[in-house]
Amino acid sequence: MPDILEDLIQLLTLERLDTNLYRGQSHDIGTNRVFGGQVLGQALAAANNTVEDRVVHSLHAYFLRKGDHTAPIIYEVDRQRDGRSYTSRRVVAIQHGHPILNLAASFQVPEEGLEHQSSMPQVPRPETLKDVTDYRRQLLDRVPEAALPRYLLHERPFEFRPVQLPQFIDPEPREPRVNIWFKTVGPMPDDDDLHRNMLAYLSDYYLIGTATRPHGVSVFSKELQLASLDHALWFQRPFRIDEWLLYSIESPSASGGRGLSRGQIFREDGALVAVVAQEGVMRLWPEAKT
């Protein structure tokens, strides 16, 4: 297993401090804050640690404060309800004495039922596409490395193969839609909870960025302020995150200094495995506040 993937697995493996109380470490991905997906994945891991024989089917989270990537995070779990079929948990992520995220998660005893789903978009196969790191290498030929945001150079534990070509420099207004294949850079253990925790981690990628596409705003622009506000994730069908999955994202609206995006995640065989929605701050600095 590649070291970078092992590091992510360890990041999502929490230390138990007491009943319903856990601690997770933080990781720097090249930004000035904790990556929101890290807090989502760890909060879901904390909730999972208090549930047996049930599978998470949904989570809803609010990002309250910017996290400090140099400090650990405490996760406090409230066992709100254990019913015959469904279990509810509430998790508060705490750092430096303040909550930085509230998460509610619901778990279900697996059962059969009526089924239907959206169709997977017709897009090129991942084997025919370049990894996003190839585009970053091309970017280094045009922009000095010291001028690039650190997160563009950060090594990731996932392969990302975009269908729509990324435009890092001089972007033009484009349709608010992105399709991107992804999987981990190596094989994963046979642990379904870990695969779901990791999907929660990854689901924070590319959502708010899709909402900027119609506006032709460069990722290098210091005028642009982006931050996640809330995040929802519904798990629909089994999957493995070390096998190719398609993240199909669209942004139906941006208004009031906020951008809204929603995504569907499909297996290679077309099965819909998860649905995601997120709203985030999307301001230009002349009107932005820290």
Is 218 a catalytic site residue?
no
pLDDT at 117 over 70: yes
pLDDT tens string 230-246: 999 999 999 999 999 99
**Domain range annotation of the chain:** 3-109+126-287
The catalytic residue among 106, 228, 248, 251 is: 228
| Helix ranges (DSSP H) in 49-191 | 132-140, 150-153
Contact 118, 236 (CB under 8 A): no
Question: If pLDDT is split at 50, 70 and 90, which confidence band does 145 have?
Answer: low
For all residues of the chain together, what is the average pLDDT?
92
Q: Domain 3-109+126-287 falls in which CATH fold?
A: Porin (2.40.160)
pLDDT at 18 over 50: yes
The strands making up 158-162's β-sheet, listed across from edge to edge, are 15-18, 21-24, 73-82, 86-95, 98-108, 55-63, 224-235, 272-284, 258-267, 245-255, 177-184, 158-162
pLDDT at 194 over 90: yes
Is 228 a catalytic site residue?
yes
The pTM of the full predicted model, rounded to 2 decimals, is 0.93
The catalytic residue among 251, 261, 264, 278 is: 278
> The dihedral of CA 227, 56, 119, 181: what is its sign?
positive
The catalytic residue among 26, 204, 248, 261 is: 204
Is 278 a catalytic site residue?
yes
